[in-house]
Amino acid sequence: MKWIQAGSLACQGDWMFRALSDFIAEITGGNRDAQAFEENDYRLAAAALLVHVMSIDGAVTEAEREIVKQILSDRFSLSAADTETLVELAIARDAEAVDLYAFTSVLNRAVDDEGRRRVVEMMFEVAYADGGLTEFEDNLVWRAAELLNVGSRDRVRIRREVREEAEGDSGSGSI
């Protein structure tokens, strides 16, 4: 039981140190890195899921890399440098992860139902970036959607919409 208390004190000490250093940076006119991505940052959790989709089929294409960067930059209003940092952190977090729960639990706490559906949409966008959806990618998005409490009906609808957009069949040619 003592190790739990010691860990709690260490976390509390880290938090207090961070708060103090933020305060000092603020009063001295210093600029603390506003885009620092903490372990519990929903942007990092979403990025890690996208990186996992990108690499699940064993073949990472440049199209997939670029769509991950584009999605993160657009959805989270990030600069190119911040996007690169986020992707690098997400790759490292994904490599360390033993399951999807570490990422989906952060997202469940941080975003609402619509936000979680957007994450599923982003995952499908990455999966379709290389021209098609593999069974591994589809299974991964299914598992993540379940952990994000996105229902099957929504997941199937999102997959269809992203597929149609990826194929260029989003209704632009219909009369």
Query: What does the pLDDT read at residue 173?
Result: 47
Answer whether residue 119 is part of any domain: yes
pLDDT at 5: 39
| Type of residue at 169 | D
- Give the C-alpha separation, 61 to 53, whole Å: 12
For residue 37, being part of any structural domain is answered with no
> What is the domain-level CATH number for residue 109?
1.10.3680.10
Cβ-contact 165, 129 below 8 angstroms: no
Please give the pLDDT value at position 79. 94
Are residues 50 and 98 located together in one domain of the fold? yes
Q: What is the pLDDT, as a whole number, of residue 27?
A: 55
pLDDT in tens, the chain (175 residues): 333 334 433 444 455 555 555 555 555 444 444 457 887 899 999 999 999 999 998 877 787 889 999 999 999 999 999 999 999 999 999 999 999 999 999 999 999 999 999 999 999 999 998 888 999 999 999 999 999 999 999 999 999 999 999 988 545 544 4
User: Are 10 and 52 in a shared domain?
Assistant: no
- In this structure, the answer to whether residues 131 and 64 fall within a common structural domain is yes
Q: Which DSSP string corresponds to 19-32?
A: HHHHHHHHHTT---
Pair (14, 68) in one structural domain: no
Q: What pLDDT does 40 receive?
A: 81
Kindly state the DSSP code that residue 39 receives in the 8-state scheme: T
Regarding whether 57 and 25 lie in a shared domain, the answer is no
SS3 content of the chain, % helix, strand, coil (to 5): 75, 0, 25
Q: Give me the domain span that covers residue 26.
A: 1-32
Assess whether 109 and 81 both reside in one domain: yes
pLDDT for 31:
43
H-helix or E-strand containing 54?
helix 42-56
If one counts the domains in the chain, the total is 2
Q: DSSP letters along 112-144, please?
A: -HHHHHHHHHHHHHHHGGGSS--HHHHHHHHHH
H or E stretch at 14: helix 2-27
Tokens in use for 142? 């299914």
